[in-house]
Each structure stands twice: as C-alpha cells, then as structure tokens.
Amino acid sequence: MDISCRICGGPVKAAVDLGSHPRGNAFPKPGDTSDEFFFPLVVGMCDSCTMVQLMADIPQEVRYHDEYPYHASNSVVHSRHFEGIAERFLETELTGPDPFIAEIGSNDGVMLARIARAGVRHLGIEPSRQVAEMSRARGVQVLSRFFDESAAEPIRAEHGPADVIFGANVIAHIAHLASVLKGARQLLGPRGVFVFEEPYLGSVVEQTAFDILYDEHSFVFSVRAIRAAAELYGLELVDVEHVELHGGSMRYTLAKPGAREIRPAVGEWLAREEAQRLGEHATLEEFARRAARVRDDLNSLLRSLRAEGKTIAGYGAPAKITTVTNYCGIGPDTVPFVCDSTPSKQGRLVAGSHIPVVSPEVFAANPPDYAILFAWNHAGEIMRKEREFAERGGRWILYVPEVHVV
C-alpha cells in the first residue's frame, strides 16, 4: 500500500520490508512484556522528492517518553565530537553581539554544556524528561517540549532570532519534518543557519546497515531529498559535510535563500548520489536483498558456533539491536545476555527478542568465546576498552558491512 510523502505529498512506494518490530528504545522490564507495541518496519521512497521514509505512523509520545534511555554522552568519541561542534559554532556563527543558539533534541546536553560554559545564550528543546534534567544539572537551559512550527514564535518572542539552530540524530526522527522546517525558518535570523546531522542514506546503503531502520527513524536523509525539502519550505541547502558518527552521517546546513553562498560540497555530493543511484527504488530493493543475506549468514554462523559448544554474548544495546535481533530471530537461547554501559538499560530486556541487558562488569566476569558487537559503530572505542577480552582469546562478531569475525 502506497502512502503520501510527508514532505511533498508525492507517492511513496514500499521498498524494504523487515517484518514486524517493536520500538527500538523500548527496553521493557522483565515481566512487563505482555503488551509490547509492534509495527510493520517497512521503508519506502517518494517517487517525486526521493525522501526515504517509514511507511507506518508511530505517535511520537510513545517514542520519546520520560525515561528515553539513550544518553549521547555515553561515548567518549561522541562527547568529543559534540564539544568540537560547539567550539566550531563559538568560533564561527556565534561571534556577533549577544548571539543565540537553539538545539532541537538537546538530549543530555552534551553539546550545549560547552556553549553554556562559554556564557553564550542558548536553549535546548527536549521533550524527554530524564535527559532534560541531566542537561539542566550541567547548566543548560532547557524547554521541555517538541519542536514544530508552533514552538518557533514563542521562542523567538522570548529569546530573539537564532544565529544557529542545531540538531543531531533527531531531525530524521520527526515525522512532522515539514513543520520543523517551517518553524526553523521562522526562528532563524536573516543570516542564521539550521545545521543538523543524521545517519546518511548513502552510507546505510553502502554498508547494508539495515539496523539503522527502526521506529525512531521516520526518515533516512540524502543530500538530494534534503535539498528538495528545504526548497519546498523556503530554505536553501548551502553546505554538506560527511561525518563518521553512527556508521556514516551527513551534516546539512540550511539558510534562508540567498543569505549564504552555496558550497561546492553540495554539488559534489549530489553527483556522488547520482552515481550511486541513491534516488532509485531498485537500489533500495537490492539493499533489502543484501540485508536478507546478512541475516542468513549471521544465523548460520551462530548455529555452527552453538553446535561447537561455543559461548556467545552481545556487546552494546543500541536501538539498532532491536532491529537486528528481531529481524534475524536471535533470542536469549543464542545470546543469553548483552552488556551496555547505560544504567537505564541495565536490568531491562531488548524489546521483542527479550535478551537481558547487563552491565559491562557482568561481561567481564563471564567472558564469552564470541561477542556480537551490536554497537558496531563504536567498534574502535569498545575494542580498545575491552582489549583484555581479545587478549584472552575472545573473538568479535561483526555484521556490517557483512558478517565477519575478528
């Protein structure tokens, strides 16, 4: 069944069907799994603007609830990345008299804490209560609400126009993206920029990273689709920059039309996308076939390891683990536990597959023969941290871009 594109109203045709899935970040308590929310994880592409999007509508209040467990500061690499972004803004966009920066989905304040320390006016806009409290404790000013068109006017009235609006790993979550773009246009000053970075469709396709698809990702952005979306809502794409985070993300810079020079990177990435055939349905269908191959390869590896009597555990319980374990049918019979450093995930279960989440200390005390690295995008940081595991003969299983053991 086709749907209408959330950006341009064009026809969206299904291209990737991963079956029925629970919410990526649900992490139910043991004994609290009887009424898990499931939805069809089907992703399609718009025939007109090429925006890749979830076919299903999932109410945002179910996703970003008060105990939303993802904390962006959990990774040292990510913390440094976001502090670096803050520093760059402080040196470039926030040098005028009394500048103002707003962040949509400021999470635990990892970026804005650096801005707050510099004494620059800022506002985090964050609906999830616990992470908002964490950022307030770091001196960050936070407004507890979702950002949309109706939020722009009161924020502008109270704080004035924004020199920068920032968002990381949040803009692609927002099904009402059209309203966010309208709101951003309203809140931006005449030379202001709306900068956001999100997992990049080109990287997802290139690496067969199908686990980036889950309920929170209403969209997977490409340069072409963002340029079209910006144009439709009175903004202009003026720069793009590829970043390594989350297995390959893209940072987009939007401004009011004519306010900024369009950087050559925009044209360069559009040409790359053309060569990669990123805007074609057939490319997504081929991606789905490769995902099925990864699933089959992973299952046959796990089956043969079990037949040899090897022990297996998981490392990292990102939202992605929900997609990969439910899509592949991997449960606690094969992976009896997964460890994660996030306290609010520990003692919980991976939604749907019901693998228990434990602390890294439990992993260290019960080292398996093989560990599936579900947080594969943090491979460098985790493998450095867990050097001892490998030194004692433990092996890592990775499944991106294909199944391999290191």
Report which residue's Cβ sits closest to ligand DWN: 318
Least spacing, CB of residue 49 vs Zn ion, in Å: 3
Picking from 339, 14, 48, 51, the residue whose alpha carbon sits closest to that of residue 172 is 51
Strand partners, 44: 14, 53
Picking from 307, 324, 326, the residue whose alpha carbon sits closest to that of residue 315 is 324
Residues 356-375 that bind Zn ion (CB under 5 A): none
Of the residues 381, 383, 395, 401, which one makes contact with ligand DWN according to CB under 6 A: 381
Site string for Zn ion, 28-47 (x = CB under 5 A): ------------------x-
Of the residues 33, 39, 48, 344, which one makes contact with Zn ion according to CB under 5 A: 48
Interaction between residue 196 and ligand DWN (CB under 6 A):
no
Task: For residue 261, give the DSSP letter.
Answer: P
Q: Please, is 307 exposed, middle or buried when counting C-beta atoms within 10 Å of its C-beta (0-12, 13-18, 19+)?
A: exposed
Site string for ligand DWN, 160-179 (x = CB under 6 A): ---------x----------
Tokens of 131: 């992470």
Of the residues 70, 200, 252, 269, which one makes contact with ligand DWN according to CB under 6 A: 70
Least spacing, CB of residue 231 vs Zn ion, in Å: 12
- C-alpha span between 29 and 314 (Å, rounded): 18
Least spacing, CB of residue 10 vs Zn ion, in Å: 4
Tokens of 25: 């970040």
Q: Cβ atoms within 10 A of the Cβ of 236, count?
A: 17
Partner touching 5 among Zn ion, ligand DWN, none, CB below 5 to 8 Å by kind: Zn ion
- C-alpha span between 165 and 133 (Å, rounded): 21
Interaction between residue 49 and Zn ion (CB under 5 A):
yes
Least spacing, CB of residue 317 vs ligand DWN, in Å: 5
Q: Are 371 and 361 in contact (CB under 8 A)?
A: no
Task: Please give the residue ranges that form the binding site for Zn ion (CB under 5 A).
Answer: 5, 7-8, 10, 46, 48-49, 51
